[in-house]
Amino acid sequence: MARKDLLDIASLHREEIEFLLDQSTSFKKLFTRSVKKIPALEGKSVLMLFYEASTRTHSSFEVAAKRLSAEVTNFNVDHSSITKGESVRETIETLQAMRTDYIVVRHSHSGLPGMIARQTTASVINAGDGAHEHPTQALLDAFTIKEKFPDPRGKKVLIIGDILHSRVARSTSTLLQKLGVEVAYLGPGSLVPKYIPESIRRFTDYEAAMAWAPDVVYLLRVQMERQDVQFFPNVREYHRVYGITNARLAEISDKGLYIMHPGPVNRGVELCDAVMDYERSLITNQVENGISVRMAVLDWLTPGGDFPRQEPYAAQQQASSSVVTP
Amino acid sequence: MLLLQNARIASENSPVLVEGDVLIVEGIIQDIGSSLAIPEGARVIDAHGRVLMPAMFDAHVHFRAPGFENKETITTGSEAAINGGITGVVMMPNTRPALDSATAIATVLENAKDRSRIPVYTSGCVTKNREGKELAEIEGMRGLGVKMLTDDGDTTADPAVLLRAMQYATEFGMFFASHCEVPELAGPRALNEGVMSYRLGIKGSPACAEEIIIDRDIRLARAAGAHVHIQHVSSKLGMETIRWWKSRGDVKVTAEVAPHHLMFTDEHIGDYDTNYKMNPPLRTQADCDALLEGLKEGVFDLIATDHAPHTPFEKAQDFISAPNGITGLDTALVSLYHHFVEPGKFGWDLVVKRYSAEPRRLMGLPVPAIEVGQQINCVLFDTEAETTFTKEFMKSKSQNTPFIDKTLKGRVDLVILGTEILLER
């Protein structure tokens, strides 16, 4: 099935996920060649519309688009203030007139990429919207995990940190569950809501979470800037209670667990310096895999035409409850 | 002279509909009976079993004028009311400028006179510009007939300010209508905190934000000896809080519930549908069930729509940017029939009592009934027909409603107020 947009993981079907991960493998093979560029998107234009500052995701998309021979334009927007839906809509009318083929968008408002997708014939890729979704991050995380566990069914991933504000936690947990991976959340009670889906285990105690025996420990960036009211007293206490301290890293190493992080890391907060040199840290693998996954996404989407809109809520529920058999 | 034949007449006192003919002479009900003789020159309408009831009254509407005439005007708003079988409304004062002075009130009332075919009443602000700091010109507004004081849209955040306002205004026979939400807990997003706020990735407003202010404002009213009216209750514990205070009987408290809070849950928001975004937000099925229970029990004195028009452009923004509120006047009566009366959850007596009689009692107005000697103020409602709420059907300037393009059971066929037939379909 052709898709115009990639807005979320929730509505992705099993076959689509399998296809994207397979394609990512093919694209990654290109990286070892001397010429890394292919003409898949030659003559196409990709517009980067980032209303939130971003280094990694932005450059990752840009590299991915250029390796597919697309023309990349950065639409400069003010990062210092929140741009409301009203002026975003005016921008979209401008972009529509420019006949751009792909729009990669990041915005602090959950659901805003969906609004854009409904108003343009361009393919819209959600590069992170508020605390809603970050689908390409989830795909690269799943790809990275599958490189270590080709059959990830029954594996356990413990996601630690600020679940409340995290689009990465939402997208990645949804995708991993579709791959048959068990997911648990750990963090301060103020940042791990009680109303998370029942399929996700909820821990607020580090020892209890480790006793659950995860295969991968996935740390989220502690986002002090998103906290309108304080959610924990200070970063020292956070590190002591929920962070990967040196002692905890030793235990993780003994058990042979992998560590992941979507970056950029806060050293001394969610993890200690030593994690960066840990042999089973997959953090740089994630960055590398981001490019091939984003190439696969750009190559897969089909701009223009009357493609089915994102499915309604009921269909999403069915999709998220089905499990992928690799 | 008008003779309505074969109507089924509803009243607030009995669930049983009484069949009969109604003769209206010069806007007054002259006779009610079976097979009344047709007087010479009388117009005859065969109601053939349609329900004849007193017309509705909506004690909570936003007509946006002055200041936001792109959303609604007194004319379009009052026509939407007539379209839905409503012959009187109370405007909220969150216009621009806000209705916080005698001058502002006088202007609105003057406008309403020329621009509306039904009586339009207005509430006044508790505080200047609804800022929660300085008291509005309370007695000045009373002089122009204002009875209800409210900072609706927001809670009067400082309890000391509200307490003083209550002590002051109660002496003038005025009462308070409270929009209940702790601002620091609720945030600006108009989404219930729970499964949906997690899924949509938007900070939710917990039900306790409403419960706390409901309780606070009733306590303040008790301390001041004031009458407080709790607006658009959305939560189960909010309802139970009011029930408990009413059972004590030592404070004058009334309350309203909006049709949408009885019918929809946060799940209806689905993929960020802004036609389900309002404040207070839609909550869970358990809340809907409790609110219905509260309505049937009488915890809620009245039904009110919180009719809140916004332009298509505003509502087509992303969920966070889009303004709060949905329209309700065109749809309320039909939706109440479709969701509750038709399936047998409550009878027409409840509709008449809670949406026609009690809101008028709250405002100290005469209560219409289909009785001999009364001025006619009625709706003729077809229970067999259907209504499709197209953009063209609706008279409100805005169509931000979950019912847009939906077909519901029931139709308002005729609205009569005194000597004027306001609507005939």
Which residue from B313, B316, B319 is facing A111, i.e. has the nearest CB?
Answer: B319
Asked if residues A144 and A286 have their Cβ atoms less than 8 Å apart, the reply is yes
3-state secondary structure A79-118: CCCCCCHHHHHHHHHHHHHHCCCEEEEEECCCCHHHHHHH
Q: Report whether pLDDT(B192) > 90.
A: yes
pLDDT tens for each residue of B334-343? 999 999 999 9
Q: What is the pLDDT of residue A320?
A: 41
Q: Report whether pLDDT(A309) > 70.
A: no
Give the B-side interface with A, CB within 8 Å: 184, 193-195, 197-203, 267, 270-272, 313-314, 316-322
Cβ contacts (< 8 Å) between A130 and chain B: which residues?
201-202, 320
Mean pLDDT value across chain A? 90
End-to-end Cα, chain B, rounded Å? 19
- Cα separation of B34 and B23, whole Å? 11
Which residue from B202, B271, B318 is facing A310, i.e. has the nearest CB?
Answer: B271
**For residue A52, what are the contacts with CB-CB under 8 A and spacing of at least 6?**
A79, A106, A107, A108, A128
**For residue B327, what are the contacts with CB-CB under 8 A and spacing of at least 6?**
B80, B305, B307, B308, B309, B394, B396, B398, B399, B400, B401
Which residue from A10, A110, A312 is facing B319, i.e. has the nearest CB?
Answer: A110
Region B194-208 average pLDDT: 96
Cβ contacts (< 8 Å) between A89 and chain B: which residues?
313, 316-317
Is A83 marked as binding a ligand? no
pLDDT tens for each residue of A112-168? 999 999 989 999 999 999 999 999 999 999 999 999 999 999 999 999 999 999 999
Percent of chain B topping pLDDT 90: 98
Q: What is the pLDDT of residue A80?
A: 65
Q: Report whether pLDDT(A323) > 50.
A: no
Which residues of B are identified as catalytic?
Answer: 306
Asked if residues B360 and B21 have their Cβ atoms less than 8 Å apart, the reply is no
Q: What is the ipTM of this complex?
A: 0.91
- CB-based contact B200 A132, cutoff 8 Å: yes
- Cα separation of B410 and A139, whole Å? 50
**For residue B23, what are the contacts with CB-CB under 8 A and spacing of at least 6?**
B1, B2, B3, B4, B29, B30, B31, B32, B36, B39, B42
A110 interfaces chain B, CB cutoff of 8 Å: yes
Residue of A nearest to B198 (CA): A196
Residue B68 binned pLDDT confidence (cut-offs 50, 70, 90): very high
Residue whose pair of structure tokens reads 């932005």 in the numeric block: A58
Residue of B nearest to A166 (CA): B201
- Cα separation of B105 and B142, whole Å? 10
Q: CA nearest B178: which of B98, B233, B251, B101?
A: B233
Cβ contacts (< 8 Å) between A229 and chain B: which residues?
184
Region A283-312 average pLDDT: 83
Q: CA nearest B328: which of B340, B348, B310?
A: B310
Q: Report whether pLDDT(B56) > 90.
A: yes
Q: What is the pLDDT of residue A177?
A: 98
Q: What is the pLDDT of residue A312?
A: 42
For B67, the enclosing helix (H) or strand (E) is none
Cβ contacts (< 8 Å) between B203 and chain A: which residues?
131
Give me B298's structure tokens: 């009488």
Interface of A with B in 151-170 (CB under 8 A): 167, 170
Give me A196's structure tokens: 């998370």
Percent of chain A topping pLDDT 70: 91
3-state secondary structure A183-239: EEEECCCCCCCCCCCCCCEEECCHHHHHHCCCCEEEECCCCHHHCCCCCCCCHHHHH
- Cα separation of A282 and A258, whole Å? 7
B195 CA to chain A: closest CA distance, Å? Answer: 5
**For residue B387, what are the contacts with CB-CB under 8 A and spacing of at least 6?**
B334, B393, B407, B408, B410, B411, B412
Q: What is the pLDDT of residue A305?
A: 60
Residue A20 binned pLDDT confidence (cut-offs 50, 70, 90): very high
C-alpha distance from residue B126 to each of A19, B105, B157 (Å): 61, 13, 11
- CB-based contact A111 B320, cutoff 8 Å: yes
pLDDT tens for each residue of A187-215? 999 999 999 999 999 999 999 999 999 99
Q: Report whether pLDDT(B284) > 50.
A: yes
Beta pairing class for B14-25 and A216-219:
unpaired
* Angle, CA of B357, B58 and B234, to the nearest 5°: 100
- CB-based contact A313 B271, cutoff 8 Å: yes
Asked if residues B57 and B87 have their Cβ atoms less than 8 Å apart, the reply is yes
Asked if residues A324 and A17 have their Cβ atoms less than 8 Å apart, the reply is yes
What pairs with residue A271 in β-bridges? A244, A267
A133 interfaces chain B, CB cutoff of 8 Å: yes
- CB-based contact A89 B316, cutoff 8 Å: yes
Beta pairing class for A182-186 and A156-160:
parallel
What pairs with residue B175 in β-bridges? B148
Q: What is the pLDDT of residue A176?
A: 98
Q: What is the pLDDT of residue B180?
A: 97
- CB-based contact B267 A313, cutoff 8 Å: yes
Q: What is the pLDDT of residue A193?
A: 96
Mean pLDDT value across chain B? 97
Asked if residues A162 and A142 have their Cβ atoms less than 8 Å apart, the reply is no
pLDDT tens for each residue of B267-280? 999 999 999 999 99
- The single-letter code of the amino acid at A116 is I
For B87, the enclosing helix (H) or strand (E) is strand B86-91
